[in-house]
Amino acid sequence: MNRDEILDWLLETDPVRLEELWERADAVREAHVGMAVHLRGLIEIGNHCVRKCAYCGIAACAPGMERYRLAFQDIIDCAVRGQAFGFGTVVMQSGEDPGITREFMVDVIRTIKRRTGMAITLSLGERREEDLRAWKEAGADRYLLRFETTDPELYRTIHPSLPGTALSDRLQQLLLMREIGFEIGTGVMVGIPGQTWATLATDIWTFRDFDMDMIGIGPFILSPGTPLDGELGEQLRREAGTGQVPSDELTTLKALALTRLLCPDTNIPSTTALATLDPGAGRANGLKVGANVVMPNLTPPKYRVLYRIYPGKAGLQETADITRDKIEAQIHALGRSIGRGPGGRGRANMVGID
């Protein structure tokens, strides 16, 4: 499939043709990554952030936010709980926060590895090479960093570089992470103001071009008080005109299914943003059209509510065991199994338990 064909599929509205897309994506998922759905326990380790991303509710410029960082022992306790739940991977995510130091994370990573043996994924934003190398050496396995958009001008607008630093280049960062030895994960939001159909087609093409190991795709959800909630959002939408991609479930599912067709053996989550947009069926719908991963939240509820990158996040008030039970029931209802082991990219992915 070339870029023009991706674009045609994104614009497809015929339900019969779309049914064909869903079926093809599901068949490719089954053939290449099997029936197992891998669970990655998410720990939101802090919401301090130095960036001013125009889409994000915890950006440095977000007014009146109560900020937190989880204590060392809180993080370890969350990871141990994830292991007791049978999760093979723990994902630690935060705002871009120099207050989360290299040394602190080295300690956390070493301790989680020693106590649980779980695979460790980091999603801590753009960090210095020395940090990345130290964390890899301490035992981290994977890094998630969405490139957000392939349109360079839109990227600069919605993801300003830090003052006094080189231009932010997340694709470059991802290549560095791969060279250091991480499995690399990336992704985009669907329907950010200023995103055109042609840009989204290029985004999907780029996942394949860079042979990404993990790809997260969720709908853009407007975060009140962010720049995209105001004049900037209006302006970007006006400029995109009829080319503007909607931030709806159908478009997200098309992007997900096409990504599965182009990247048959990659790990693709059914995202929390999709479950937020459609609390009833979003997560299952993602799993039906190509996704093979879900990321249940392990963050204590008290802190979950403060990690507000967008409003109404699915599972906000739940404890971790409730979230886990709900997700496992959804997976079984689809006739799929729960993944066992670390579930990295490759044949080990096929293994599951009922």
Binding residues for ligand SAH, rule: CB under 6 A, are 55-56, 93, 95-96, 123, 125, 145-146, 148, 189, 218, 220-221, 223, 273, 309-310
DSSP string, 267-292: B-B--HHHHHHSTTTHHHHHHHTT--
- The angle at the Cα of 267, spanning 263 to 271, to the nearest 5 degrees, equals 110
Minimum Å gap between C-beta 220 and ligand SAH is 5
Q: What is the dihedral of CA 21, 190, 119, 159, to 10 degrees?
A: 150
Reported as half-sphere exposure (CB side, CA atoms, 13 A), residue 176 has a value of 14
Local structure of 90: helix, strand or coil: strand
122, containing H or E segment: strand 119-123
Minimum Å gap between C-beta 304 and ligand SAH is 14
Instruction: Report the C-alpha gap between 244 and 235 in whole angstroms.
Output: 12
Minimum Å gap between C-beta 8 and ligand SAH is 25
Place of tokens 């290299």: 102
Kindly tell me which of 149 and 266 has the beta carbon lying closer to ligand SAH: 149
Place of tokens 């998630």: 144
Main-chain phi, psi angles of 20, to 5 degrees: -65, -40
Minimum Å gap between C-beta 332 and ligand SAH is 28
Contact present, 174 and 184 (Cβ < 8 Å): yes
Minimum Å gap between C-beta 95 and ligand SAH is 5
Minimum Å gap between C-beta 59 and ligand SAH is 9
Kindly tell me which of 146 and 254 has the beta carbon lying closer to ligand SAH: 146
